[in-house]
Structure 1
Amino acid sequence: MAERQAETVAFYDIFNGDADGLCALHQLRLEEPRDAVLVTGIKREVRLLGRIAPVAGDVLTVLDISLAENRDALAHALEAGARCLYFDHHYAGEIPRHPNLEAHIDPAPDLCTSLLVDRYLHGRHRAWAVVAAFGDNLFDSARRAALPLGLSEEALAKLRALGETLNYNAYGESVEELYFHPAELYRRLSRYADPFRFIAEEPAFQQLRRGYADDMKKAMAVEPMRQTTAGAVYLLPDAAWARRACGAFANYLARTHPGRAHAVLTPSLAGGYTVSVRAPIARPLGADLLCRQFPSGGGRPAAAGINRLPAEMVEAFARKFEESFAPGS
């Protein structure tokens, strides 16, 4: 590829492919439309900054991916003279101080990235933040954010369904296992300023709803592998539907049993297991601390995961899971 001239400014929108990343970007672009290179992928593909090679003057908008996982790539971009607007709610570690970096990062368990963008935009596209909060399983936060909108229960249920289906689409071993590449789903979303129009008119929504219902029906038939009063561990089968449903299933379990923690393990095509962990909704803390004890683990206090848990570490993970969420821990 020919080297790009530094004086040719490029814009990059770099975002997690789940509901939160999609809706965070959508809010910003409703407010400030911009043609940009879209950099995204499956839910667990978070080291996205390393995909690009920005030069002086380039503008990066980064949404819903951990700064801790992108620290080196961000440092290189800033050193090259790129400017970066960064929104996120995951563990970040130390946030760099740089004149070209504007960071809005808050790991509070009741926040998602779209709610941070909503705060930044003073609520001007609030309905999309509500969609994202529902998608991130932050139902109380979604309802609080929606209060000024005066929505009926029926309307809130529609936004919840949209958030859940957008989030569901991001889970899979690869983009080939998804119904839509997240960049394509964003392009479809970007045609609609009103989420209710997207729900009523966009064929992608109906396709995702059918897939979500089919996959969740299969997941809910699975019995836990281990269960205590503090939490339950589920092992899903080695199937594309299971890899798509793992996150939505973990969210469902968390809502159904708010007093206990949950872990959902799904066999990976590369060997080992992908893990989704949800802390108890009644005490949404500790999921990230647990997952960071294992290679490729990370996330946030209420919801975290491990990208690749070796098979020989499953028993150790289960013990750590039970210790982490035992009463009094």
Structure 2
Amino acid sequence: MSSLRILLRSLAVAGLSAVLIAPASVARAEPTPAELTKQIEKSSTELERIVESYNKLNEDIKTNKATAAKLAARIGPLQAQVEQSRADVGVLAATAYKTGGLHTARALLEPGGQSSLPERLGTLDQLTRQRQQTIAGFTSSQRKLIDEKTQLDVTLARQAAQAKQLKAGKKKIEADLARLYELRRQAYGRATEAPAKPGSVGSAPAISGSAGVAVRYAYGAVGKPYVYGAEGPGGYDCSGLTLAAWRAAGKSLPHNAAMQWNATARISRGSLQPGDLVFYSGLGHVALYVGGGQIIDAPSPGRNVTKRDMDIMSIAGYGRVR
């Protein structure tokens, strides 16, 4: 056997031996339940921020739709005014042509008759002013109509861009949710929490007034699933739950945590009362305070509305619904 063949055989045997004795630890280890839980918490926090941005976009679209409707309602009467002004100017022009504008002016200025020259000049001046006012009314109405139409076009264009952005945001949320649910499956054996047993959090405390209505509503929502963009009754996201609870009490809140922060009055922790809102760091999460240091909130995708201690994470501040 040639020395080259012996060398090649030796190298092959050595390579095979290395593969056989390589430690098993080189293979990728599966993440532990603790590692999966950490990933789930991180993904949930990031996803909730995206959901709240999605909700804000929805609120902006609602505002723009309302603005567009008001503008459209104003354009109708303005259009009618412009058309009437055009008709009025046309009548003035036709009358001047038929009666002979110069002849009328000359008759007013010629001596004779009972009217004095100043009176005749005053009549002519009044006719001139009336005509100028009619024409000015036509041009101002026309300018206003053009301005309103321009505003409407800008609003509708913004609305179309937002709708496109909303569609893209929804796609991203759905993809992120699929990944999150898969992580939950690996960690807990199922993608979503099992429904809570009825009465598992006890009865709502006896609180009077509109705050009591909001708190009782929140207790009734415990165990219902987190559903992004939802405001009940089958499911909720965080700002959707606080919105729905206070809507039941006759108060209106926007469907976004940061916007709810702006819509409520600032209070201190020591002033907290049931029905107040608790806002968390970055204004990406909001919950309803129910007393005794407890909140009810829609925590995150895959979980259900729950009652828990309010110090779940860093608190940004507290709000009272006005």
Q: After TM superposition, is the score higher than 0.5?
A: no
The alignment's TM-score, normalised by the length of structure 1, stands at 0.25
TM-score (normalizing by structure 2):
0.25
**Bigger proportion of residues as strand:** 1
Higher helix share: 2
* Structure with the larger RCO, 1 or 2 (CA within 8 Å, 6+ apart): 2
Choose 1 or 2 for highest CA Rg: 2
